[in-house]
Structure 1
């Protein structure tokens, strides 16, 4: 399959995935539109958006594969250093920025921040793997996955790539969402680190390396099958006490993301529009910034006494718009998000 270097469908997928992640973080419909006194509209919509992070990982593995095979350590370093810089900078910003302006006004800056800092220090390893704010976990997880692949390439142990990734993924699921059943006690929250990221990156890596192809029909069936399995798992686990919307990755999630990715490859020109390519280059900056500005939006909603749909809309559209504008403003400063994409 001869594809252009910038595959429009993957660029569009990155934009849509970003919107899905921001939607998850807004946590809409939590206190209204209840069904049997539970926020099922949130539960369902939240889990429908869980394709997003797997897609980001799979795309990353697919795009970096040629360079990683050719020069594993050099590529891993050149790919990871800019990402780690972003992670460090925005972790520091997140640690410094107060989340509750009301507490700052009433009790002072240090009183507001101390509680958050103490919370992070109570789980130091988990906090290190996330960074200054919870959404930044994606960056070190991606970096760890890339370095693990590089290590297996460099040591000529690539036959172990898929088995190791699968074992880590299964442990991540069993010690993560399935913990209510398995009672496994992982050293840190298994969404962080390599447990899920490695398999997702490896899937993209192997699809590119072997030029795997699946028809659009079978790709859709794989995606739908994975999504149904994800939802069945979430429903069963909900009965055991794992709240429906608290599942980042389940067994079906990997199949769901893989099916979507194969379908995107079969439709490479979908989304081949200037606005898609423009927005795609700002996905990482918006991702890094958005949760900080979303917290600001929640504070503004509190000041305005907005609740329900009004608060959710302000948080979603406000954080997206301001993140984009802020990223553009930073583009010509030392805090620029200039990252060379593979």
Structure 2
């Protein structure tokens, strides 16, 4: 029987969240420069790309038994609370001014109009994304769970991996590899089921088939996947694809899969010291809340820093721990109010 809390996994939930904050906070984006490019910032950006795939794998892994037992009922009970959170935070992000300088100088509507128009220009993509860019994760997860539930319900689970692989390949061809294949997609392929389905299905199949991998093999797979991901990002520079724009590449699922299998091979990592164990479990239960709130925190920290004249190295060093601590504080504050029922699962 798989324990409900795997310490190595809970620890890496927090590490993955920090990686996502790093992607969005973009530290060291102005200095240091190497050949005129902020390569430290660019590498940090791509080094965090394991995080969202890992979250998808975890979702598929932990929901698998319930999906197998009652696919549609599980889909409903799992998805509706998530969509409620997505909708609530989308409304908040639509209403919250992002540029405080414009807000104070020109007014609320002047600040919001451009962003609202941007979202209205591509309504289908906005539907799969939400009120702010990071919220795409929730509809993508629901899409993946819906596909799995549908195929299980109609006894077509043998199609899960082929369909998920096909969606992933299409997502690549119309996404990061679009300059090569010249395919157009109706939405940004990071959104929706294109990439999420494969990762969630992989987690689902690992749990269903009780697959295991020796630790050193898993680490090797993760390293090879990471190297392939970075090689692809470098190769795509010749097609004018910016290094830091790639959410998913061919190597990404191998990278995250290897990491996940390594965590399963060392499930008790972090359990030896009770205080550390308690701190990890205490923080990991708030990861979803911190995820949905963190990008607004990033936006406002940068706004306030600009208003008070803080910039450069001090901001680069402090931005990630500052955003993490504020996000934890806001999440725990929400948990103590009636808003918890609306803003958090």
Is TM more than 0.5 here?
yes
2:55 aligned with 1:56, yes or no?
yes
Structure 1: gaps spanning 5 or more residues: none
Q: Which residue of 2 aligns with 1:141?
A: 140
- CA positional deviation for 1:338: 4.9
Contact kept in structure 2, 1:237 and 1:244, CA below 8 Å: yes
- Give TM-score, length-normalised by structure 2: 0.96
Give the whole-Å Cα distance in 1 for the aligned partners of 2:72 and 2:2. Answer: 26
2:119 alignment counterpart: 120
Give the structure 2 partner of residue 153 of structure 1. 152
Residues 25-60 of structure 1, C-alpha deviations (whole Å, 9 max, x = no match): 001111110110011111111111111011000011
Which residue number in structure 1 is paired with residue 245 of structure 2? 246
| TM-score of the two chains, using structure 1 as the length reference | 0.97
The range that moved more, 308-317 or 112-121, is 308-317
Query: Take 1:22 and 1:285, find their aligned partners in 2: how far apart are those partners?
Result: 13
**Contact 1:301–1:314 under 8 Å retained in 2:** no
Alignment of 1:56-205 (within 5 A): 56-205=55-204
* 8 Å contact from structure 2 (residues 86, 135) kept in 1: yes
Distance 1:71 1:3, change over 3 A: closer
Separation in structure 2 between the aligned mates of residue 130 and residue 212 of structure 1, nearest angstrom: 33
Please say which of residues 52-61 and 267-276 is displaced more in the overlay.
Answer: 267-276
What do residues 251-279 of structure 1 show as CA deviations (whole Å, max 9, x unaligned)? 00000010001000000011231100000
Structure 2 residue 302 is matched with structure 1 residue 298: yes
Alpha-carbon distance, 1:318 to partner: 2.3
Aligned to 1:326: 330
Deviates more, 1:20-29 or 1:313-322: 313-322
Which SS does the other structure have where 1:214 is aligned? coil
Q: String of CA shifts for 1:150-203, please: whole Å, max 9, x gaps.
A: 000001110100000000001111111111211111111000000000000000
Take 1:57 and 1:324, find their aligned partners in 2: how far apart are those partners? 22
The corresponding residue for 1:311 is 315
CA distance in structure 2 between the aligned counterparts of 1:75 and 1:110, rounded to whole angstroms? 41
Residue in 2 that maps onto 1:24: 23
Unaligned runs of 5+ in 2: 272-276
Measured in 1, the distance between the counterparts of 2:159 and 2:9 equals 28
